[in-house]
Amino acid sequence: MAANSSTGTPSWLGAVNDRAGLAVLLEHGPLTRNRICELVGVSKPTASQMMSRLLAAGFIEERGRTSGSAGRSAVVYAARTDRPLGVALDLDAFELRATVVDATGGGRPVVRMPLPHDPTERSAVDEVSRAIVEASEAAGTDPTVVHSVCIGIPGYVDPGETGELFSETLPGWPVRGLRPILEAELGRAVHVENDVNLAAVAERELGAGVDNGFFVLLWLGNGVGASFDVAGDLHRGTFGGAGEIGFLPLSAAASAIDPSAHSAQDLVGGRAVALLARHHGLDVTGYHAARAALAEPEAEEARTAVFHDLAERVAHVALPLLATLDPGRLVLAGPTASLGGEAFAQEVGRGIHRLSRWYPEVVATRVDGDPVLMGARIQLAGRVREELLDTVASVSLA
C-alpha cells in the first residue's frame, strides 16, 4: 500500500459509510436511523455520525418523525434529490419530448416541443438547450443543476473518432462529432443512444424483459429496428449499428409477399402498414393517418385483416434475428406492434413456427406510454445517482 493512501483511515471509512447511507435512502426512501443501521450494517453511533455529516453537507434532510408506535418517536431522514439532475429526451421527425431526471428516477412532468418542418430551422444545440429549460420549468427545478443529458434518437452514432450520425430524421443536426459539439456548447455531459435500445432498457426494467435473461426487441413503427438485451447488457456492435435491420434485403420468400418491397423496412415499416390499410378499405395516405384510422373502434374488421397480413411479413423479418441470436423471447414493440397487441404477437409466433425451426416466445410490449423516454430516464437516473454518490464520497474525504 502506498504511504499516502487514505484506504483504511477514519476519513476513508467515513466516506464509504456516507456513500452507503445515502445509497440506501435513495433506494428505499425515507428511513429512521435504526433502519439505516440495519441496511448498512453499522452501529447506532456510526449511523448518527453519518447522518450528521450528510445533513451538514446538504445531501439529506429531516423528513418529520415516526408516530403511532410505543416509545419515543424517531427522526426520519430522506435524501435530497434536487441536485444534481439530468434531462432525458427523445425525438422523432415531428416532436421532442423531455423530462427532468433525479437520482431516484422518479417521474417528473414531460414537456412536448413541436419541431420545425424546415431543415434550415433545425439546430441540435438549440433544441436540446430549449428542452433543458422547458423540462426544468415544468418540474420546478433549476436548469443550472442539470449536469447530464440522455438523448434517444431515431438512428445511431458511430463510436469511432468521427462520431458519424446515421439518421434520416434529424435534419440540421451535425453529421459528425454530435456528442462533443453538444457537450462543448451545453457545458454538460451528453449521452446519445439509439431509440430502440432505450425501448429495450424500459422493457428490461418495466416490461416483458423483467424475468428474461435474453430477449430481442423488434421495433415496428414508421421505421423498423431491433435491440438485443443479454442479461441486462445491450449489444450495440462494433460500429454502433447493431439492430439496424430496416436496411436488410429480403429473402426470396419474403419478396414474394410484396414484389415491390426490397428491404425489411419496405415490407413491415410505415409504407407497408399504409398500403395494407388501403388494401383493406381504409381511405388513408401515409403511416400516421393509417395507424390513427386503424385505432378507431369501427375499424375492427380492417384492423384484424391488416394485422393478419402484417404478421406473416414480420415473421419473415424476424427469421434472420432468430437464426443469428436464437433468443428465448421476442418482444414486439413500437407504435404498430402496440396497436396489434398480444393477438398480433401470437400470430407472429405462429408464423415463425410455420416458417422455421425456431420457437421463441413472442410477446407484445408491456411498457405503457413512451418507452424510449422511459428508457432514457432509467439510463440517466443511474448516471445521476453515481454522480451524487461520488460527490458524497469526495466531500467526506475533503
In this predicted model, what pLDDT tens digit does every residue of 309-345 receive, in sequence order? 999 999 999 999 999 999 999 999 999 999 999 999 9
Task: Tell me the backbone φ, ψ of residue 38, rounded to 5 degrees.
Answer: -65, -45
pLDDT of residue 227: 97
pLDDT of residue 395: 78
In degrees, to the nearest 5, what angle opens at C-alpha 41 toward C-alphas 36 and 44?
Answer: 60
pLDDT at 229 over 90: yes
State the Cα–Cα distance between residues 169 and 75, nearest whole angstrom.
Answer: 52
Q: Residue 119 has what DSSP assignment?
A: G
The answer, yes or no, to whether residue 81 has pLDDT greater than 50, is yes
Sign of the dihedral through C-alpha 370, 373, 379, 384: negative
Mean pLDDT of the 75-96 span: 94
CATH classification number, 10-80, choose in 3.30.70.1350, 1.10.10.10, 3.30.420.40, 3.40.50.12160: 1.10.10.10
The chain-wide mean pLDDT, for the chain, equals 93
What pTM, to 2 d.p., does this model score?
0.92
Domain ranges in the chain?
10-80, 85-198+373-383, 209-366
What percent of the chain has pLDDT above 70?
Answer: 96
Top CATH class of 209-366 equals alpha beta
Looking at residue 321, its pLDDT comes to 96
- What mean pLDDT is predicted for residues 220-242? 93
Comparing 14-18, 214-218, 329-333, 336-340, the range with the smallest average pLDDT is: 14-18
CA 93 to chain CA mean position, Å: 18
Q: Report the alpha-carbon distance of residue 5 to residue 50 in Å, rounded.
A: 22
The answer to whether residue 1 scores a pLDDT higher than 80 is no
Specify the CATH number of the domain 85-198+373-383. 3.30.420.40
- Give the amino acid at 103: A
Question: Using CA atoms, how far apart are residues 319 and 252, in angstroms rounded to an integer?
Answer: 13
The better pLDDT of the pair 212, 141 is held by: 141
Cβ atoms of residues 196 and 163 within 8 Å: no
What pLDDT, on the 0 to 100 scale, is given for residue 72? Answer: 77
Average pLDDT over residues 260-266: 97
Size (the chain), residues: 398
Q: Do domains 10-80 and 85-198+373-383 have the same CATH topology?
A: no
| Whole-number pLDDT of residue 70 | 61
pLDDT at 192 over 90: yes
Compute the average pLDDT of residues 161-190.
94
**In the prediction, which pLDDT does 67 show?**
74
- Our CA dihedral for 47, 48, 54, 58, rounded to 10 degrees, sits at 150
Q: What single-letter amino acid sits at 357? A: R
Q: Return the pLDDT at 119.
A: 86
Residues 6+ apart with CB under 8 A from 355: 253, 315, 316, 319
| Mean pLDDT, residues 224-232 | 93
CB 307 within 8 A of CB 344: yes
Residue 5 pLDDT grade (very low, low, confident, very high; cuts 50, 70, 90): very low
* Cell digits of residue 387: 454522480
pLDDT score, position 7: 47
Q: What are phi and psi of 367, to 5 degrees?
A: -105, 120
Mean pLDDT over residues 43-51, rounded? 93
* Radius of gyration (C-alpha) of the chain in whole angstroms: 25
- The residue-averaged pLDDT of 252-267 equals 97
Q: Which three cell numbers stand for residue 60?
A: 439529506
User: In the predicted model, what is the mean pLDDT of residues 257-267?
Assistant: 97
Q: Can you say how many angstroms the Cα of residue 20 is from the centroid of all Cα atoms in its chain?
A: 26
Q: Which helix (DSSP H) or strand (DSSP E) does residue 384 occupy?
A: helix 371-397
Confidence of residue 68 (pLDDT cuts 50, 70, 90): low
- Split at pLDDT 50, 70, 90, the class of 398 is low
